[in-house]
Amino acid sequence: MNRNLRFLAGSLVIVGAIGYLMFVGIRETSSYYLNVDELVLKRGEYENVPLRVAGRVQAGTIDWDAKSLRLRFAIGAFPTAKKPDLSVPVAFTGIKPDMFTDGRDVIVEGRYRDGVIEANQVLTSCPSKYEAKTAEAGAPASEGSS
């Protein structure tokens, strides 16, 4: 066999193997990014598929058990959604995020099974406490004024 032909065949095998590994890796780690209203309207398409769902934690739905690290809550659609009254229950086992509270915007990663998002990660948004404070009543509007 010609030396150039062997080099070409070996190169094709290596390129083919790298291409296959890239394809499998991307397929395994990719997930749909949806809002709650999009998930609810097409829930059949997303059954048992990796997802990332953005929504807002509904008030009064948080059930946290610190001993078993079990967190259950419901996320609702954002107020600007076409149908803002939709919600989806979420089940998560793990450490509860520090800033997790009612009304917080969250992104939940996991799979949608039997009407529940079985989350493997819950991400919260940054709080507004990092914004500049406004002058309070009775306090001077700025320092250094006379």
1 plus 46 within the same structural domain: no
Share the mean pLDDT of the chain: 83
Three-class secondary structure of residue 18 per DSSP:
helix
21 plus 88 within the same structural domain: no
Q: What is the CATH number of the domain that holds 114?
A: 2.40.50.140
Residue 18 tokens read as 């790298």
Specify whether the CB–CB gap between 20 and 85 falls below 8 A: no
139 in any annotated domain: no
6 plus 61 within the same structural domain: no
Specify whether the CB–CB gap between 76 and 86 falls below 8 A: yes
pTM: 0.67
pLDDT tens digit sequence for 59-82: 999 999 999 999 999 999 888 777
- More confident position, 94 or 22: 94
71 plus 123 within the same structural domain: yes
45 plus 114 within the same structural domain: yes
Instruction: Give percent of the chain with pLDDT exceeding 90.
Output: 45
Give the per-residue SS3 of 20-82.
HHHHHHHHHHCCEEEEHHHHHHCHHHHECCEEEEEEEECCCCCEEECCCCEEEEEEECCCCCC
Specify whether the CB–CB gap between 51 and 40 falls below 8 A: no
100 plus 80 within the same structural domain: yes
Q: Are strands 116-124 and 87-93 parallel, antiparallel or unpaired?
A: parallel
Provide the number of structural domains found in the chain: 2
pLDDT tens digit sequence for 35-46: 898 888 888 888
63 plus 5 within the same structural domain: no
pLDDT tens digit sequence for 127-140: 555 555 555 555 55
144 in any annotated domain: no
133 in any annotated domain: no
Please compute the mean of the pLDDT values over residues 74-102 and round it to a whole number: 88
Residues composing the chain: 146
Which one, of 122, 123, 125, 124, lies nearest residue 70 by Cα? 122
* Measured distance CA(105)–CA(63) in Å, rounded: 17
62 in any annotated domain: yes
Q: Is residue 145's pLDDT more than 60?
A: no
Query: How does residue 31 score in pLDDT terms, banded at 50, 70 and 90?
Result: low
53 plus 90 within the same structural domain: yes
64 plus 44 within the same structural domain: yes
105 plus 49 within the same structural domain: yes
24 plus 9 within the same structural domain: yes
Supply the range of the domain harboring residue 99: 32-127
39: Cα separation from own chain's centroid = 13
78 plus 60 within the same structural domain: yes
